[in-house]
A = this chain, B = another copy of it.
Amino acid sequence: MMNITLHGTNYIGCKTSKKGIDTFHAINPKTGEKSELEYHTATEIEVDTSCKLASKAFNDFRKINDEKRAKFLDKISEEILNLNEKLLQVADWETGLGISRLTNERERTRNQILLFADVIRNGQYKEISTDYQDPQNKLERMLIPIGPVAVFEVSNFPFAFGVCGGDTVSALAAGCPVVVKGHPSHPQTSELFAIAMKKAVEKVGFPKGIFSLLHGNTNVPGMNLVGHPDIKAVGFTGSVRAGRSLFNIAAARSSPIPVYAEMGSVNPVFITQSAINARSDQMAEQFAESIALSAGQFCTKPGIFFFPSSEESVCFLKKIAELMKKKKIQSLLNKNIYDSLMKGTSELTSIDGVELIAGGKIGDKPISLQNTMVKTDISTYCKEDRLKKEYFGPLALFVECDSQQQYLEIVDGFHGELTGTIHMEKEDYNGVKILFDRLSEKVGRIIINGVPTGVKVSHAMNHGGPYPATTSVSHTSVGTTAIRRFLRPICYQNVPEDFLYDFSK
């Protein structure tokens, strides 16, 4: 087993750096304990240096051929494994997500790296298209990398959307250098990944400027990063407030750049009476599991369930409530999430017409909430905006509707959602078709008789949706087509072969 030493530093072009005076510590969410290691918030100069190094490195990196880049990705995956148990232990200490979940997430993260290696080996991602009709003006169109990318780590997927996560890897696969803004919830985990990345870069001999990690527990380094002229695109996952503010900075630049922000979603679920009649036990299990999984800290957690008023639905809700009560309670990822969830929960339960049917109290773990269900009726839902927003954590709202006919009106009131789910039986087909049709206009993914959590990293996945689910409905942040965000077309007209295929050397 290797001995891996953490330094509490930023990694600027793969080199350690801690010039900042402002420092912060990792905090164990389960114990409130502070880590000994002090992390230094990146200074404006460190941000600037990272971006400039990225821009300089881009000149060489973009010319490195697909196979070499694929091998580099393989190497990253290998170096992540070389972080061994230390990665799991440190991440568990910082996030409280548990060794089992983190082991799975490490596997998912490594698989997604290998999948992108496959994507670039396959080569189709370049969308090469030729038109040789006019021999004097042969046209060759292909996608090329967009330039240095700023990536923001998230707290709830410290691996899969971490320093070596989906955004970073799809950018590197595209041939774009990456400057990562680490999440202050797990700086040690971030540093471990930076160490893995540094080793991979060194082993393949790539320009070191292709990777930087910047720490910070304020939004200043991130804002400077998005405003930096050398940054050409932004990958972000987080709240609507934070995502929109980065979008605004990018749009106000003298040269605006795309911000691929994956933000909030209530992930509505519509349930028909026939579905309740046919399989209320099975659905109750599925829903309770999906709401409480990882303390509900998923952007795809089903947040609002719509069901028809009936005797059977009363029993159905009781079943879910019972199951929710039995589910394990977990500490939340950090104090900010906890504070905002507790505030939200007390606000929600104080609304006239909203009934608490399970949980609602501080959990038996530190900074935790019991698995919580609140119920309301359709008229309260319609008039109360606080019932339409996302509550990040193990909490779901159940809305009793007079009839399934109301579902259409509800859908028309949505803006944009990452997912929409319908539970139904065969006999519902005709009625549900219209609902399906309208709902698909509001979401990035539509699920029948399932749950929205568990986003498979696949060619056929889409993790996006109309605003405010994302700032760019045209793209996905999960799945192989995520690479498209960091590519742009170019047309070569009458260019000698020598020039074009230089890149494969």
Question: Which B residues lie within 8 Å of A130 (CB)?
Answer: 460
A318 at the interface (CB under 8 A from B): no
Q: Which residues of B contact A436 (CB under 8 A)?
A: 495, 499
A437 CA to B499 CA, complexed, in Å: 8
How many residues of chain A have a CB within 8 Å of chain B?
74
The answer to whether A462 touches B489 (Cβ under 8 A) is yes
A499 contacts which of B416, B433, B495, B502 (Cβ < 8 Å)? B433
- A32 at the binding interface (Cβ < 8 Å): no
Of the residues B131, B444, B471, B495, contact of A490 by C-beta under 8 Å: B444
A5: Cβ under 8 A from any B Cβ: no
* Residue A456 CB within 8 A of the other chain: yes
**Chain B, Cβ-Cβ closest to A499:** B436
> Within 8 Å CB of A485, what residues of B?
474
Contacts of A443 in B (CB 8 A): 490
Q: For A492, list chain B residues within 8 Å (CB).
A: 440, 445-446
A481-505 contact mask (Cβ, 8 Å, vs B): 1 or 0? 1001101111111111011001000
Known A-B contacts A450-B493, A474-B146, A488-B473; the reply to A255 vs B445 at CB < 8 A is no
Residue from A140, A433, A436, A472 whose CB has the most chain B CB atoms within 10 Å: A436
User: CB distance A475 to B459 under 8 Å?
Assistant: no
Chain B residue, CB-CB nearest to A440: B490
In the complex, whether A406 has a CB less than 8 A from a CB of chain B is: no
Verify if A251 is at the interface (C-beta below 8 Å from B).
yes
Which of A144, A416, A458, A476 has the most chain B CB within a 10 Å cutoff? A458
User: Which of B444, B454, B488 lies in contact with A474, CB distance below 8 A?
Assistant: B488
Contacts of A464 in B (CB 8 A): 488-489
Minimum CB–CB distance from A53 to chain B (whole Å) comes to 17
Q: Is A467 an interface position by the 8 A CB rule?
A: yes
Q: How many identical chains are in the complex?
A: 2
Does A468 sit within 8 A of B, measured CB to CB?
Answer: yes
Cβ contact within 8 Å between B491 and A445: yes
Cβ–Cβ < 8 Å partners of A454 in chain B: 137
A248 within 8 A of B: yes
A166 CB, min distance to chain B CBs, angstroms: 15
Nearest CB in chain B: distance from A137 CB, A: 6
Q: CA of A474 to CA of B485 in the docked complex: distance in angstroms?
A: 8
Give the residues from 142 to 188 in chain A that come closer than 8 angstroms, CB to CB, to chain B: 144, 146-147
A129 touches B251 (CB 8 A): no
- With A255-B467, A258-B472 already in contact, the answer to whether A137 and B456 are too (CB < 8 A) is yes
Shortest Cβ distance from A468 into B: residue: B255
**Residue A448 at the chain B interface, CB threshold 8 Å:** yes
* A461 in contact with B139 given A146-B473, A502-B433 (CB within 8 Å): yes
CB distance from A346 to the nearest CB of B (A): 28
Q: Which one, B140, B416, B446, contacts A255 given CB within 8 A? A: B416
What residues of chain B lie closer than 8 Å to A488, measured between beta carbons? 464, 473-474
A408 to chain B, nearest CB (A): 12
Q: Could you tell me the distance between the alpha carbons of A463 and B139 in the complex, rounded to whole angstroms?
A: 12
Verify if A247 is at the interface (C-beta below 8 Å from B): yes
Residues of chain B within 8 A (CB-CB) of A494 are 447-450
Task: Say yes or no: B489 contacts A131, CB within 8 Å.
Answer: no
A141 B429 Cβ-Cβ under 8 A: no
Q: How far is the CA of A165 from the CA of B191 in the complex (A)?
A: 52
Given A247-B256, A256-B471, A463-B491, output 15 extra A-B contacts at Cβ < 8 Å: A131-B460, A131-B461, A141-B479, A141-B481, A146-B473, A251-B251, A255-B415, A429-B499, A433-B502, A440-B492, A444-B490, A445-B491, A448-B493, A449-B494, A461-B491
Provide 23 A-B residue pairs closer than 8 Å at the C-beta atoms, listed in order of the A residue: A59-B437, A130-B460, A131-B456, A131-B458, A137-B456, A139-B456, A139-B460, A141-B459, A147-B441, A247-B251, A255-B416, A256-B471, A258-B472, A429-B496, A433-B498, A433-B502, A447-B494, A447-B495, A448-B493, A449-B494, A450-B494, A462-B490, A473-B488
Is A493's CB under 8 angstroms from B447's CB? yes
Residue A63 interfacial (CB < 8 Å): yes
Of residues 225 through 273 on chain A, the ones whose CB sits less than 8 Å from some CB of chain B are: 247-248, 251-252, 255-256, 258
Partner of A140, one of B133, B147, B460, B495: B460
Q: Is A136 an interface residue (CB 8 A)?
A: yes
Pairs of residues from A and B, 6 with the lowest C-beta to C-beta distance, nearest first: A251-B251, A462-B491, A131-B460, A139-B460, A445-B491, A141-B460
B416 touches A462 (CB 8 A): no
Q: Which residues of chain B come closer than 8 Å to A134, judged between CB atoms?
A: 456
Query: Which B residues are CB-close (under 8 A) to A466?
Result: 255
* B146 touching A450, Cβ below 8 Å: no
Residues of chain B contacted by A127 (CB below 8 angstroms): 481
